[in-house]
């Protein structure tokens, strides 16, 4: 009988744990008996990414400082799920309002894995339609956010040209725009036999 390839964890311990990140060291044995110890896993909370479209199909992007990058980043509105959050749509609604002062009609598009090799969390992709601003964004000194409304075709061009550099958000953006019906994905050329 063939194995499904799943590794067996023989020991697991946390090397570091705080409110932002947990680093876990697992001792693993492959289905062929190879020992991998330690294998490090980053435990993060799940995230949400919001593809927010107004009535004219303009996409709401945010520009903000990202310390890991050491500079400004142009991104989708996004955020981490709190330990008490059980619904990605609730988290998306909160993050969209806090970061941008906007609300909309939300639909869950799906989920992805930011880095299945080393991260345990999921990214939930949320499409927000009929987005309008109803309040000022929350004043958070750790998040100075500039909002930009960009036509969907231009955002798609930016994503494909590498001007949007958060990789997992590019995938989320493509899925959201296709679901919204403002973009389509097709083969550039068909393979020949």
CATH for 136: 3.90.79.10
Whether residue 176 sits in one domain with residue 83: yes
In this prediction the pTM is 0.90
Q: Which domain holds residue 13?
A: 8-43
The DSSP call for residue 41 is E
Query: CB-based contacts of 16: which residues, under 8 Å, 6+ apart?
Result: 22, 23
Instruction: Tell me whether residue 162 is in a domain.
Output: yes
Whether residue 53 sits in one domain with residue 35: no
Whether residue 105 sits in one domain with residue 14: no
Question: Which pLDDT belongs to residue 191?
Answer: 65
3-class state of residue 29 by DSSP: strand
Domain count, the chain: 2
According to DSSP H, which parts of 12-151 are helical? 88-100
Per residue in 76-116, pLDDT (tens digit) is 999 999 989 999 999 999 999 999 999 999 999 999 999 99
Whether residue 19 sits in one domain with residue 80: no
CA distance 177 to 154: 12
Question: Which pLDDT belongs to residue 1?
Answer: 40
Instruction: Identify which has the larger pLDDT, 73 or 4.
Output: 73
Query: CB-based contacts of 48: which residues, under 8 Å, 6+ apart?
Result: 78, 79, 80, 81, 88, 91, 92, 95, 123, 124, 125, 126
């Amino acid at each position: 009988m063939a194995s499904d390839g799943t590794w067996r964890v023989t020991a697991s311990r946390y090397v570091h744990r705080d409110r932002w990140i947990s680093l876990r060291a697992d001792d693993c044995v492959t289905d062929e008996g190879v020992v991998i110890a330690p294998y490090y896993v980053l435990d993060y909370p799940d995230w949400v990414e919001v593809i927010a479209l107004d009535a004219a199909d303009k996409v709401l992007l945010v520009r903000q400082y990202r310390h890991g990058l050491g500079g400004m980043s142009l991104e989708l509105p996004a955020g981490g799920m709190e330990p008490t959050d059980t619904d990605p749509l609730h988290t998306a609604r909160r993050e969209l309002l806090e970061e941008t002062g906007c609300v909309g009609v939300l639909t869950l598009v799906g989920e992805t894995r930011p880095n299945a090799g080393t991260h345990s969390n999921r990214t939930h992709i949320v499409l927000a339609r009929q987005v309008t601003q109803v309040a000022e964004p929350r004043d958070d000194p750790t998040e100075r956010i500039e909002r930009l409304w960009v036509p969907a075709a231009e955002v798609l061009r930016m994503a494909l040209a590498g001007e949007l550099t958060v990789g997992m958000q590019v995938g989320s953006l493509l899925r959201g725009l296709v679901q919204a019906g403002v973009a389509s994905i097709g083969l550039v050329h068909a393979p020949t036999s």
